[in-house]
């Protein structure tokens, strides 16, 4: 059975996905998820930043198994083609029977934003004395839009949204859509919460622009050899990872800055590291994406479609 993107969009909602992702991250930290490192191959289609990659991400959890194949081609943006494209195969764990193959582009988009929403909802009350109202977004693409939608599920106090993009027209378009302001990168970075969702290969966010107690949610700069955060951001922040092993292996921001991963988000969610989250320094949540998140979203789509 094939489930296309229109049907995925019909059945997958942030209201259902965010709590499911929260539980999946707890289960991952508890060792209930079998998930090997993703296999990544360079496509060799172009030189430099336009060189795409192809990844395979298998996982087993609960009553299902799955594998996502995903491509990332930065050069697609100039062609009007999505930079991320994916397929997810869902199988029954007890028998190995294929349940569905579904388009994974929207799944990837939504689960990434849902992870950040889970992290924000867990970290903000521990880090801020008063819930923040301002969000600065670096980036104006698919993930910027997805995160705004996901954040509205967990952050009713959000009132001020500031958008920066290296292409000012793109920033203005997103600002107009979201009732936000298109601003300089320094002004966006001065918000209480800063989302970095860029396709940068070199750091674009400088620590000198951040407030002393900013919360940074970093989801861009996909890959172990690229960055979007400078050393000051990394070294002055208490770093919380989506997954210690994944972030240490696949985040160029962590690998090249020498920053230590001080907690895993599942440890915050299960209560074992809540007291470690500081209020007197910056906090950074870094995610690189995991197969368990794709499996969780695909299972929701399957359940909604089959009525189970």
Q: In what order do the strands lie in the sheet with 64-72?
A: 2-3, 98-103, 84-92, 64-72, 53-61, 39-42
What is the CATH topology of the domain spanning 2-107+291-306? ornithine cyclodeaminase, domain 1 (3.30.1780)
Average pLDDT score, the chain: 96
85-115 pLDDT, tens per residue? 999 999 999 999 999 999 999 999 999 999 9
- Global pTM exceeds 0.85: yes
In the chain, the percentage of residues whose pLDDT exceeds 70 is: 100
Task: Give me the pLDDT at residue 63, please.
Answer: 97
Q: Name the band, by pLDDT with cuts 50, 70 and 90, for residue 172.
A: very high
The predicted-structure confidence for 16-47, as pLDDT tens digits, reads as follows 999 999 999 999 999 999 999 999 998 889 88
pLDDT for 77: 83
Condensed to tens digits (0 to 9), the pLDDT of residues 131-162 reads 999 999 999 999 999 999 999 999 999 999 99
Q: 3-class secondary structure for the chain?
A: CEECHHHHHHHCCHHHHHHHHHHHHHHHHCCCCECCCCEEEECCCCCHHHCCEEEEEEEEECCEEEEEEEEECHHHHHHCCCCEEEEEEEEECCCCCEEEEEECHHHHHHHHHHHHHHHHHHHHHHHCCCCCCEEEEECCCHHHHHHHHHHHHHCCCCCEEEEECCCHHHHHHHHHHHCCEECCHHHHHCCCEEEECCCCCCCCECHHHCCCCCEEEECCCCECCCCCECHHHHHCEEEEECCHHHHHHHEHHHHHHCCCEEEEHHHHHCCCCHHHCCCCCEEEEECCCCHHHHHHHHHHHHHHHHCC
pLDDT tens for 245-301 read: 999 999 999 999 999 999 999 999 999 999 999 999 999 999 999 999 999 999 999
46 or 123, higher pLDDT: 123
- 2-107+291-306 and 114-286 share one fold: no
Domain 114-286 in CATH: superfamily? NAD(P)-binding Rossmann-like Domain (3.40.50.720)
In this prediction, residue 308 carries a pLDDT of 65
Spell out the domain ranges in the chain: 2-107+291-306, 114-286
């Amino acid at each position: 059975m094939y489930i296309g993107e229109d049907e995925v969009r019909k059945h997958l909602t942030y209201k259902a996905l965010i709590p499911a992702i929260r539980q999946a991250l707890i289960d991952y930290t508890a060792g209930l998820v079998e998930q090997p490192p993703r296999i990544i191959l360079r496509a060799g289609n172009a030189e430099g930043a336009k060189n795409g990659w192809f990844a395979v991400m298998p996982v087993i959890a609960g009553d299902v198994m799955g594998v996502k194949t995903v491509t990332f081609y930065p050069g697609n943006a100039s062609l009007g083609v999505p930079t991320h494209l994916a397929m997810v195969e869902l199988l029954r764990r007890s028998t190995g029977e294929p349940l569905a193959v579904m388009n994974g582009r929207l799944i990837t988009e939504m689960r990434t934003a849902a992870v950040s929403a889970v992290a924000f909802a867990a970290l903000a009350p521990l880090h801020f004395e008063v819930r923040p109202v301002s969000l600065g977004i670096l980036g104006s693409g698919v993930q910027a839009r997805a995160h705004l939608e996901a954040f509205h599920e967990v952050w009713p106090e959000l009132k001020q949204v500031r958008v920066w993009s290296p292409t000012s027209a793109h920033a203005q378009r997103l600002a107009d859509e979201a009732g936000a302001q298109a601003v300089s990168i320094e002004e966006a970075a001065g918000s209480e919460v800063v989302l970095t969702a860029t396709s940068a290969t070199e750091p674009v966010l400088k620590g000198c622009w951040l407030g002393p107690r900013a919360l940074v949610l970093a989801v861009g700069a996909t890959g172990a050899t690229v960055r979007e955060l400078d050393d000051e951001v990394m070294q002055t922040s208490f770093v919380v990872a989506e997954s210690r092993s994944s972030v240490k292996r696949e985040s160029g921001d962590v690998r090249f800055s020498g920053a230590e991963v001080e907690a895993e988000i599942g440890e915050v969610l299960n209560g074992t590291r809540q007291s470690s989250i500081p209020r007197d320094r910056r906090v950074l949540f870094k995610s690189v994406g995991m197969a368990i998140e794709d499996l969780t979203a695909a299972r929701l789509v399957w359940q909604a479609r089959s009525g189970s």
